[in-house]
């Protein structure tokens, strides 16, 4: 629990937003996986602040250092420790937050839980905490791709009331990265950009929905009871800052279908392989992947940090008004896309390696 995830491919993250650094230790990555520093940095760069005009303008380079477990471009089988130093220490910017609870932030609950709190930048509840996840996710992504050609791709589907339309089977990473919004539909991306810019000017913020699709998942991944593959995906997605909902396949929309409409009939493809005619299951049946594409949605609330004046209380129990300072994302979704992908990669990678133990008696 706490700051670790996974049963075989286990990650342990650490770091406050304004301490010396943040990072992750991956324990259980198989040896001899080829992976470069660039492959890890690439996902961190997609996550970092200051990428475009619609995200926070803090300038953090987030250069990653591999401390252990890696040599000459391959993993050693020992723990992979990855460290990103914190650089942009403007802790003075947080002085006004030391004694006040920001609405819908973790300030109050952190105090209630621990009786102590690193107020600068949110401490452990800062979005910087996700750096360790994204770095570990890049390693998991490589393992998935290297061993099974599995591809995990997420994108912004909706911001506030603005929804994108696209051919889901054709979306590529190029489409997603083509626009700073990470919405693969250029027309919608433009409208979203405008809405985000407007929210920022208004001292307000926006939420939305990210969609994720996993291609080439082999059948048989996931456990039938508590660690159903969708349960692990749900946990990992709902562990991301600001996420409020998760659904898979037909999801919440499927409740108005009948069983006859919803069931995914099996058929044989021209090669004699078993497939489903429809995919309301979202690629998972009984908690176990069936070989179809996995797809799911994650709902994100509007960013809690806004620059408008808000009513709140301070740590002494006085009612006060707060005007947040600092540079914040008016909409977290563009930067949440690599986080969603990272967590999906981690859940899948762990399931893939667990399956090696289930398959043990099949190996000749």
Whole-number Cα distances in Å, 318 to 84, 101, 122, 273? 38, 11, 21, 67
Residue 148 interacting with a copy of itself (CB under 8 A): no
Interface with a copy of itself in residues 208-247 (CB under 8 A): 208-209, 219-228, 230-239, 241, 243-247
Q: Is 2 in the site for a copy of itself (CB under 8 A)?
A: yes
What is the Cα–Cα distance from 17 to 328, expressed in whole angstroms?
Answer: 14
Q: How far is the CB of 58 from a copy of itself (least distance, A)?
A: 18
The total of other beta-carbon atoms located within 10 Å of residue 17's CB is: 23
Q: Does 166 participate in binding a copy of itself (rule CB under 8 A)?
A: no
The verdict on 149 binding a copy of itself (CB under 8 A) reads no
According to the binding rule CB under 8 A, does residue 37 interact with a copy of itself?
no
Using CB under 8 A, pick the residue from 36, 53, 57, 68 that binds a copy of itself.
Answer: 68
Contact positions with a copy of itself (CB under 8 A) in 117-146: 117-118, 123-125, 129, 146
Residues of this chain, 95-114, that bind a copy of itself according to CB under 8 A: 101, 103-106, 108-110, 112-114
- Residue pair 322/224 in contact (Cβ under 8 Å)? The answer is no
Of the ranges 31-39, 51-59, 171-179, 334-342, which one interacts with a copy of itself (CB under 8 A)?
31-39
295 is a contact residue toward a copy of itself (CB under 8 A): no
Q: Six-digit token pair at 339?
A: 């986080």
β-bridge pairing 151-159 and 208-215: antiparallel
Number of residues engaging a copy of itself in binding (CB under 8 A):
160
Question: Of the candidates 41, 158, 181, 211, which one interacts with a copy of itself according to CB under 8 A?
Answer: 158
CB of 174 to a copy of itself, least distance (A): 26
| Residues in 246-285 that interact with a copy of itself by CB under 8 A | 246-252, 254-268, 272, 274, 276-277, 280-282, 284-285
To 10 degrees, what angle do helices 37-47 and 130-148 make? 130
Residues 184/155, Cβ–Cβ less than 8 Å? yes
Among 150, 306, 339, 340, which residue interacts with a copy of itself (rule: CB under 8 A)?
306
Burial string for 296-321 (b: 16+ CB within 10 Å, else e) reads bbbbbbbbbbbbeebebeeeeeeeee
145, 215, 301, 327: which one binds a copy of itself (CB under 8 A):
301
Rounded distance, CA 112 to CA 116, Å? Answer: 8
Report CA dihedral (114, 301, 244, 341) to the nearest 10 degrees: -100
Of the candidates 117, 114, 115, 122, the residue with the CA atom closest to the CA atom of residue 93: 122
By the rule CB under 8 A, 199 interacts with a copy of itself:
yes
Cβ proximity to a copy of itself: between 173 and 287 the closer is 287
259 is written with which tokens?
Answer: 């069983």
H/E stretch holding 352: helix 333-358
Q: 302, 334, 336, 345: which one contacts a copy of itself (CB under 8 A)?
A: 302
Among 44-52, 53-61, 170-178, 297-305, which window interacts with a copy of itself (CB under 8 A)? Answer: 297-305
């Amino acid at each position: 629990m706490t700051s670790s995830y996974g049963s075989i491919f286990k990650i342990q993250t650490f770091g406050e937003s304004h301490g010396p650094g943040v990072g992750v230790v991956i324990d259980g990555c198989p040896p001899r996986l080829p992976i470069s520093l660039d492959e890890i940095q690439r996902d961190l760069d997609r996550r970092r602040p200051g990428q475009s005009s619609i995200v926070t303008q803090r300038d953090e380079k987030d250069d990653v250092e591999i401390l252990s477990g890696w040599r000459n471009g391959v993993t050693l089988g020992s723990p992979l420790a990855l460290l990103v130093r914190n650089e942009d220490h403007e802790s003075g910017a947080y002085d006004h937050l030391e004694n006040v609870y920001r609405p819908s932030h973790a300030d109050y609950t952190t105090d209630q839980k621990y009786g102590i709190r690193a107020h600068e930048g949110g401490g452990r509840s800062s979005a910087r905490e996700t750096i360790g996840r994204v770095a570990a996710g890049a390693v998991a992504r490589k393992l998935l791709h290297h061993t099974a050609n599995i591809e995990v791709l997420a994108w912004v589907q909706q911001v506030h009331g603005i929804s994108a339309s696209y051919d889901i089977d054709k979306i590529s990473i190029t489409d997603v990265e083509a626009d700073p919004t990470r919405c693969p539909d250029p027309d919608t991306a433009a409208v979203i950009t405008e809405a985000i810019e407007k929210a920022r000017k208004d001292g307000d913020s926006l939420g939305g929905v990210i969609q994720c699709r996993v291609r080439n998942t082999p059948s048989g991944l996931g456990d039938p009871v508590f660690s159903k593959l969708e349960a692990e995906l749900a946990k990992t997605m709902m562990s991301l800052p600001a996420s409020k909902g998760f659904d898979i396949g037909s999801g919440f929309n499927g409740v108005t279908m009948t069983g006859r409409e919803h069931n995914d009939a099996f058929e044989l493809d021209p090669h004699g392989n078993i497939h489903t005619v429809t995919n309301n299951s979202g690629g998972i049946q009984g908690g176990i992947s069936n070989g179809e594409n996995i797809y799911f949605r994650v709902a994100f609330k509007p960013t809690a940090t806004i620059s408008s004046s808000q009513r709140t209380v301070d740590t002494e129990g006085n009612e006060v008004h707060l005007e947040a300072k600092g540079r914040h994302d008016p909409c977290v979704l563009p930067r949440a896309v690599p986080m969603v992908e990272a967590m999906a990669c981690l859940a899948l990678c762990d399931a893939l390696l667990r399956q090696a133990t289930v398959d043990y008696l099949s190996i000749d």
